[in-house]
Chain A
Amino acid sequence: MNLERYRRQILVKEFGQRGQETLSKKNIVIIGGGGLGSNSANIFVRMGIGTIDIIDKDTIDITNLHRTSLFTQEDVGKSKALILEERLHAINPEAHIRGINQKITKENIESFVKNADVIVDGTDSVSLRHLINNVSLHYNIPWVYAGVYETVGMIMGVLPQKTPCFQCISQNIPESIPGEIPVLGSLPATIASIQCNETIKLLLGKPLAGLIIYDVWDQCFDVMNIKRNPDCPVCGKK
């Protein structure tokens, strides 16, 4: 590993050379390469995560460009996962990057995430997040939820059987919201940055913040301390 590249980061006392070396050995899987996933992938590869898989079946659409990172207008119509693989490799050739141009399903999710140290949420659907949540609990793999809507973002790291899971906080949420989800262009980058911080802390064994709610328009930042629900159908005692 070329430590010079990370010199300014290693100077951060909470992080240090030990943090850098730890990240270089970690394997993360980002599910979804859109607004959140492209921004988090960009940050993770620069910070020095050793292995990054990005899974997304979609192609880049002109309507993605206002909130994504690394994509250009020339990429419209191309695979998000494969373009991200190419760009991330160019940013940091030391990292092992794999763009996987496939749709995540209940049947195949295990094969993609079973070796992950953490799963990073870059999806745009509630049902996919429930799928990630289930596999996380089943295989004891932590994951970091993030979502955006209009000017509001939420982030929560899930440590299986230790912290509340996604089901614990989302029982009233319908599986899908009709119509297109409105998103301010600056929001996913902001929320993905916070999601990356929580992910890095998780990888370094530091305590997580809880459910973070950030409205970037009003500059209203909250951290909610929620307990696990013992009756949760996913993480509760059966």
Chain B
Amino acid sequence: MIITVLVFGRYKDFAGKDQINLDISIGNTLRDVVDAFVKVYPAAEKDKSRMMVTKNKMYASYDAIVSNGDEITLSPPVVSGG
């Protein structure tokens, strides 16, 4: 299925737009969404295990299942320098 993903921060630059379509399978998780994103935009590879991912405006675990119509967002990891 084709899902629409909103992207934030530098991911918008990688994509050249603020929303992208990714092709994933039914029953796939957010981890699969992250993998699909990194495959298309390898510059995001270093964030792969730490990305901030939300599903329907809520922070979600990589194990969460994605259903048709879910609003998914991907953002760079929370930053911790001071």
Give A residues with C-beta under 8 Å from B.
Answer: 32, 34-37, 121-126, 129, 146-149, 152-154, 164, 168-174, 177, 181-183, 188, 211, 213, 215, 218, 220, 222, 224-229
Beyond contacts A149-B81, A173-B78, A228-B58: 5 other A-B pairs, Cβ-Cβ < 8 A, are: A35-B81, A126-B78, A215-B13, A218-B13, A229-B58
How distant is A138 from chain B, measured CB to nearest CB, in Å? 21
Known contacts A124-B80, A129-B80, A224 near B12 by CB under 8 Å: no
Cβ–Cβ < 8 Å partners of B81 in chain A:
35, 124, 147-149, 181-183
Q: Give Cα distance in the complex from A171 to B58, angstroms.
A: 12
Closest partner residue, chain B, to A35 (CB atom): B82
Chain B interface mostly helix, strand, loop or mixed? Answer: loop
Chain A interface mostly helix, strand, loop or mixed? Answer: mixed
Closest partner residue, chain A, to B52 (CB atom): A169
How distant is B76 from chain A, measured CB to nearest CB, in Å? 6
B27 close to A (CB within 8 Å): no
Cβ–Cβ < 8 Å partners of B13 in chain A:
215, 218, 220
Tally chain B residues at the interface, Cβ within 8 Å. 25
B79 close to A (CB within 8 Å): yes
Known contacts A169-B52, A173-B78, A152 near B10 by CB under 8 Å: yes
Is A147 touching B9 in the complex (CB atoms < 8 A)? no
Leading 7 A-B pairs by shortest Cβ distance: A124-B82, A149-B79, A181-B81, A147-B79, A148-B81, A222-B8, A213-B9
Known contacts A168-B59, A172-B62, A218-B13, A123 near B82 by CB under 8 Å: yes
Is B57 touching A171 in the complex (CB atoms < 8 A)? no
Within 8 A of A (CB), among B40-82: 49-54, 57-59, 61-62, 73, 75-82
